[in-house]
Chains A and B, each alone.
Chain A
Amino acid sequence: MTDKPTSPTAEGGAPEHGPAGDPSRRTFLARVSIAAGGFAALLVGIPVLGAVLKPMVQKEPRVWRKVGTVNDFTVGKTVAVDYQNGSTKPWAGVTGRTAAYLRRDSQSQFTCFAVNCSHLGCPVRWEQSADLFMCPCHGGVYYSNGDVAAGPPPRPLARYPVRVRDGDVEILTTPLPIDGRVPPAS
């Protein structure tokens, strides 16, 4: 990496020793130049990196989204629902929406599953008659309660917070459950 070119083309290279000037001054000037250049690079570089990397830490607002009224759902049935993410960039278009599986457990109890297989995130498919979630990518299978039934998934399906308010069923927008962890509703 530090190879010095040996080709004879360089006419304009800095001479090691000029006719005048003292070497310590030269060293000083070199160091000052490097330090100043480094300063300018950091001055711009840090905000640039910050801007580019901010999605790594930025939190999006979490919002309760209505997906229907209680009576839209049948007890014991699991259905796919979808809602707008917490992020509000209008140019996201349809990609700003998230799907989830919603099961009505009882009169007032609902469970909401992420659609993403815990293995690699592919969308699992609810097979009503088989009572199983199946993943198309690598054959992961989950029971109706989200527990792993078979295949490579390391964890159950993630669950999103869901609540019933004034007869409406609402799901809390939640980051994609990357490591299976879902931040609780606060």
Chain B
Amino acid sequence: MFRRIGNWLEDRSGLGELIGPVMSHLVPRGSSWMYVFGSATLFAFILQIVTGIALSFVYVPSSSQAYESLKFITQNSALDHFLRSVHYFGASAMILMVGLHMLRTFLFASYKYPREASWMSGTVLLFLTIAMGFTGQILRWDQTAIWSVVVGAQQAGYFPLIGPALARFMLAGESLGGQTLSQFFALHVFVFPVLIGALLGPHLWMVIRNGISEPPKRGKPVDPKTYRDEYHQLLEKDGVPFWPDAAWRDVVFAVAMIVVIVGLAITLGPPHLAAAPNPTNLDTHPAPDWYLLWYFGVLALIPHAITPYVIIGGPAVVFLVLFLMPLFARHGERHPFRRPWALGVVAVVVVSIASFWSLATWEPWSPRYDAKPLSAQVIGNVSAEAQHGAQLFHDKGCIECHRIGNDGGFRGPNLTYVGNRLDAKELTWRIANGGYNMPSFAKILSAKELRARRPSGRRARFVSGRSLEATGRAPPGGRCPR
């Protein structure tokens, strides 16, 4: 009975005829676990579509009400709470998988002939995925989200010529307002997913057309003249059908991924909702979600003078280099051990991102608004003037960037033992003049106050105490430690 219905459907639709060859097409033997990340990205995307649609049943994309609906989703309904968690960890997984997929493709040089266009479409898909992440974070529409819109608009504003217009587009107006969230909702829910889908079609089709790249062999470079013939010979001699010989790994990995996502969603719950969105609440500290956090660190630490160029130029150059790379490296060795530069680039990029990322998790460059005044223990038994200096160290904000003992910020040098490095005159000079990352306090402090922060003696311990403030950040050379 079912068979008859199936036969009828197949006769009228021919869908099996269409899909059959796709499933059974031959792939090179030895396509190992390294090849599962692309399909995992796809499964994560599907998971995002499903959970995203479900969330849209309850979410209210309105600048004034979205936060309330999010609170409802998070607090009042166990199932919606679960959905939101899964959607968040699914997004994280998708970004992670797309990164691994790209890393594998690059290390195996699978972007070479004839798969250049696969890589190029993949580059666009990567940026679209990040755009989905960013717009998704905005839909959370809390304090962090609205300020992220402002930060995003300000970044877009650095674009030459059309910067301000781009910024207005991001804000959907001249400043935050009623249209801002509606627009991000449209981008996140319609525009970007449709673009991803539209590119995913050709991206997947090209896998069928050009085949999965065979695992690289040392001393077997790609020669565009002979590659396709050799590939087909390889398949005929030693190929296995994609389904199920190769696909089972994709399935197992994707299932494991989804189990992990659901597990994390249940145990950790959805991402933290910051305070209600309020552009007049200035006690806020916006930061992007984890996958862009490292870039936030980059922007804090690059030399200030080149910042305006890097903000737009950096991502633009990265995109262009990635996008065009296969056109300039169409042939040659594929094995990573025969491509030391490629390995080096991967190592540098991975280490850099990891370093910026770990720094950005504690933001040493951010002033510590909440630093408490130095404790009596730290200040020690000193003259009244030095006591006054310690007070100024706190009141004048020095402590927000400098550390003495275990108190204070990290932007400037630790001043616990500054008395060992600088004498009173030098300290005064530094405090008064400031530096690259330190304000000049010449106009802020009176002459008397300036004196107060000077160490009265050379005793290293406290010197710091009062002096500290002074010290400001200015280590010789005037460069702020990171």
Report which A residues bind B (CB closer than 8 A): 1, 3, 7, 9, 53, 55-60, 80, 82, 85-87, 89-99, 115-116, 119-125, 127, 129-132, 134-139, 141, 143, 149-154, 175-176, 178-179, 181
* Residue from A119, A132, A135 within 8 A of B439 (CB atoms): A132
What's the count of A-B pairs with C-beta under 8 Å? 214
List chain A residues, Cβ under 8 A from B173.
Answer: 55, 58, 60, 87
Docked pose: A89 CA to B369 CA in angstroms: 35
Question: Complex Cα distance A154/B401, Å?
Answer: 20
Q: Which B residues are in CB contact (< 8 Å) with A179?
A: 157, 163-164
Least CB distance, A52 to chain B, in whole angstroms: 8
Q: Does B367 contact A (CB under 8 A)?
A: yes
Q: Which residues of B contact A (CB under 8 A)?
A: 14, 17-18, 21, 62-65, 117, 146-147, 150-151, 153-155, 157, 163-169, 171-181, 183, 202, 209, 276-287, 296, 299-300, 304, 307-308, 311, 365-367, 369, 395-397, 400-401, 411, 434-440, 443-444
Do the beta carbons of A139 and B437 come within 8 Å of each other? yes
Contact of B168 among A1, A55, A91 (CB under 8 A): A55
Q: Which of B62, B64, B276 has the most CB of A within 10 A?
A: B64
Task: Determine which of A60, A80, A120, A141 lies in contact with B151 in the assembled complex, contact meaning CB atoms within 8 Å.
Answer: A120
Whether the Cβ atoms of B167 and A178 lie closer than 8 Å is yes
List B contacts of A82 (CB < 8 A).
279-280
Instruction: Give the residues in chain A near B146, CB-CB below 8 Å.
Output: 95
Question: Which A residues lie within 8 Å of B166 (CB)?
Answer: 56
- A54 vs chain B, min Cβ distance (A): 9
Q: How far is the CA of A153 from the CA of B147 in the complex (A)?
A: 17
Would you call A98 and B174 a contact (CB within 8 A)? no
Closest-CB distance, A176 to chain B (whole angstroms): 4
Nearest Cβ distance between residue A8 and chain B, in whole angstroms? 9
Complex CA distance for A92 and B179, rounded to whole angstroms: 7
Q: Are B62 and A175 in contact (CB under 8 A)?
A: no
A138 nearest CB across to chain B (Å): 4
Q: What residues of A have a CB within 8 angstroms of the CB of B435 in the complex?
A: 150
**How many Å lie between the Cα of A86 and that of B174 in the bound state?**
9
**Beta-carbon contact of B174 and A134 below 8 Å:** no
Taken together as a complex, chains A and B put the C-alpha atoms of A181 and B154 apart, in Å, by 12
Contact check, A99 vs B279: say whether CB atoms are below 8 A apart.
yes
A87 to B174, CA, bound (A): 9
Q: Which of B202, B304, B397 is in CB contact (< 8 Å) with A130?
A: B397
B444's closest neighbor in chain A, by CB? A131
Q: Which residues of chain A are within 8 angstroms of B168 by Cβ–Cβ distance?
A: 55-58, 175, 178
Whether A176 and B177, one on each chain, are in contact in the complex, defined by CB atoms closer than 8 angstroms, is no
User: Which chain B residues lie closer than 8 Å to A7 at the CB level?
Assistant: 21
A149→B440 contact, CB < 8 A: yes
- Complex CA–CA separation, A58 to B173 (angstroms): 7
Q: Give the contacting residue for B63; candidates A92, A134, A138; CB below 8 A.
A: A92
Shortest CB distance B304–A (Å): 4
**A175 touches which of B150, B174, B299, B438 (Cβ 8 Å):** B174
| 16 further A-B pairs in the complex, CB-CB below 8 A; given A59-B174, A130-B400 | A55-B172, A85-B176, A92-B63, A94-B277, A95-B278, A96-B178, A127-B369, A127-B397, A129-B396, A134-B367, A137-B366, A139-B411, A143-B439, A149-B434, A154-B308, A178-B164
B14-A150 in contact (CB<8A): no
Chain A residue numbers with a CB within 8 Å of B18 are 9
* Given A58-B173, A151-B304, residue A121 in contact with residue B366 (CB < 8 A): no
Q: Assess the B366–A139 pair: CB atoms within 8 A.
A: yes
Given A56-B165, A122-B151, A179-B163, check contact A99 B296 (CB 8 Å).
Answer: no
Q: Verify B174–A176 contact, CB threshold 8 A.
A: yes
Complex interface: chain A residues within 8 A of B276 (CB) = 94
Give the complex CA separation of A93 and B67 in angstroms. 11
Residues of B within 8 Å of A132, CB to CB, are 397, 439, 444
Choose one: B279, B283, B308; the contact of A94 (CB below 8 Å).
B279
A-B contact pairs, 18 of them (CB 8 A): A9-B17, A9-B18, A57-B165, A58-B168, A92-B177, A93-B62, A95-B63, A95-B279, A98-B279, A120-B154, A120-B155, A121-B151, A123-B282, A123-B284, A125-B282, A138-B366, A175-B175, A178-B153
The CA of A121 and the CA of B149, in the complex, are separated in Å by 9
Complex CA gap A153/B17 in Å reads 62
Query: In whole angstroms, how far apart are the Cα atoms of A123 and B285 in the complex?
Result: 8
Q: How far is the CA of A89 from the CA of B376 in the complex (A)?
A: 54
How long is the Cα–Cα vector from A119 to B278 in the complex, in angstroms? 21
A93 and B286 contacting across the interface, CB-CB below 8 Å: no
B367 / chain A contacts, CB cutoff of 8 Å: 134-136, 139, 141
Structural contact, A93 and B63, CB atoms closer than 8 A: yes
Determine whether the beta carbon of B439 is less than 8 Å from that of A154: no
User: How far is B21's CA from A134's CA once the two chains are assembled, in angstroms?
Assistant: 63
- Nearest first, the 7 A-B pairs at minimum CB distance are A93-B64, A89-B178, A130-B397, A149-B439, A121-B154, A175-B174, A92-B178
CB B186 to nearest CB in A, in angstroms, measures 8
> How many angstroms between the C-alpha atoms of A185 and B151 in the bound complex?
25
**Are the CB atoms of A97 and B21 closer together than 8 Å?**
no
Q: Which residues of B contact A115 (CB under 8 A)?
A: 282
Q: Are A97 and B279 in contact (CB under 8 A)?
A: yes
| In the complex, residue of chain B having the shortest beta-carbon distance to the beta carbon of A1 | B117
CA distance A89 to B138 in the complex (A): 20
Collect the chain B residues with CB atoms within 8 Å of residue A56's CB. 165-166, 168-169
Nearest chain A CB to B187's CB is how many angstroms away?
10
Report the separation of the CA atoms of residues A129 and B395 in the bound assembly, to the nearest whole angstrom: 6
A98 to B173, CA, bound (A): 13
Report A-chain residues with C-beta under 8 Å of the C-beta of B299. 119-120, 138, 152
Neighbour of A85 across the interface among B153, B157, B175, B281, CB < 8 A: B175
Complex Cα distance, B141 from A94, in Å, reads: 12
How far, in Å, is B482 (CB) from chain A's closest CB?
10
Residues of B near A123 (CB, < 8 A) are 147, 282, 284
How far, in angstroms, from A132 to B175 measured CA to CA in the complex? 25
Q: Which of B151, B163, B209, B397 is close to A129, meaning CB atoms less than 8 Å apart?
A: B397
